[in-house]
């Protein structure tokens, strides 16, 4: 792992979308890049019975999983990338100061560090509006917007599955709880990374955000 970039922000702020755009841009410029989306990893592990139901219980209630559980779980995935050459993008981790401190200590053992943090800033109302329209492919976890489903037989253009439904944790109650959880921890997290953080107005267009992120990443 040559560089580590963390994407932080509330649910529905566009972190996953921008991470995928950045990955594709880096590859088109002959740079290796990897993407760990913690929400997708967690759902896949629950589906495959790789972790306890404790994770699912927190997700079902729209709450953040406690730091010690998340840290132990994430360390397994991080170890897979420590020795790889390329850029690693983390989406959804760290979410709290405790997770950020753990990540610093973990990386230091391997002479690594967090190189950049992208902070996606967005208002609650915009998040609720976005997630009310968000659908998920149950097979590959690609997300779609409701308006993209032009007919009842719509299939995922990534894997071909027709199992596209609303996420269980995208109810209004769960969205508000998740947003509240993030607001409680975000100030300490942002302050921790204040020397190398890029603030993004996540209300802007997808392409303008992508351009700003790539210019920032390309500068170091």
At the fourth CATH level, the homologous superfamily of domain 3-123+169-217 is P-loop containing nucleotide triphosphate hydrolases (3.40.50.300)
How many CB atoms neighbour CB 62 within 10 A?
21
The whole-number mean pLDDT for each consecutive block of 10 residues of the chain, a chain of 220 residues, reads 92 90 82 87 79 73 79 92 91 94 96 95 90 80 71 76 77 82 90 93 94 87
Tokens describing residue 135: 């659908």
The partner residues of 144 in beta bridges, in order of sequence, read 135
- Quote the distance between the C-alpha of residue 44 and its chain's center: 14
Query: What is the residue extent of each domain of the chain?
Result: 3-123+169-217
- Quote the distance between the C-alpha of residue 139 and its chain's center: 18
Angle, CA 213 vertex, CA 148 and CA 158 arms, to 5°: 30
Listing DSSP states for 135-202 in one string gives EEETTT--EEEGGG--STT---TTT----EE--GGGSHHHHHHHHHHHHHHHHHHHHHTGGGEEEEET
Per-residue pLDDT at 168: 67
Per-residue pLDDT at 147: 67
Per-residue pLDDT at 149: 65
- Please give the model's pTM, rounded to 2 decimal places: 0.82
Q: What is the dihedral of CA 114, 20, 22, 103, to 10 degrees?
A: 0
Per-residue pLDDT at 152: 59
Per-residue pLDDT at 27: 74
């Amino acid at each position: 792992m040559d560089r580590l970039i963390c994407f932080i922000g509330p649910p529905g702020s566009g972190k996953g979308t921008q991470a995928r755009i950045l990955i594709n841009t880096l590859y088109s410029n002959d740079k290796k890049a990897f993407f760990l989306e913690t929400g997708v990893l967690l759902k896949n592990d629950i589906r495959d019975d790789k972790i306890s139901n404790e994770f699912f219980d927190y997700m079902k209630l729209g709450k953040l999983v406690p730091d010690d559980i998340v840290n132990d779980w994430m360390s397994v995935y991080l170890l897979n990338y420590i020795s790889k050459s390329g850029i690693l993008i983390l989406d959804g981790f760290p979410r709290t100061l405790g997770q950020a401190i753990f990540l610093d200590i973990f990386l230091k053992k391997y002479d690594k560090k967090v190189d950049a943090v992208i902070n996606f800033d967005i208002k609650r109302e915009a998040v609720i509006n976005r997630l009310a329209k968000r659908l998920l492919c149950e097979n590959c976890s690609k997300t779609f917007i409701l308006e993209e489903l032009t007919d009842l037989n719509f299939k995922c253009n990534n894997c071909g599955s027709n199992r596209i439904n609303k996420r269980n944790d995208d109810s209004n109650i769960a969205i508000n709880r998740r947003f509240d959880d993030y607001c409680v921890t975000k100030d300490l997290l942002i302050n921790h990374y204040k020397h190398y953080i890029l603030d993004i107005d996540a209300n802007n267009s997808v392409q303008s955000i992508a351009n700003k992120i790539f210019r920032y990443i390309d500068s170091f």
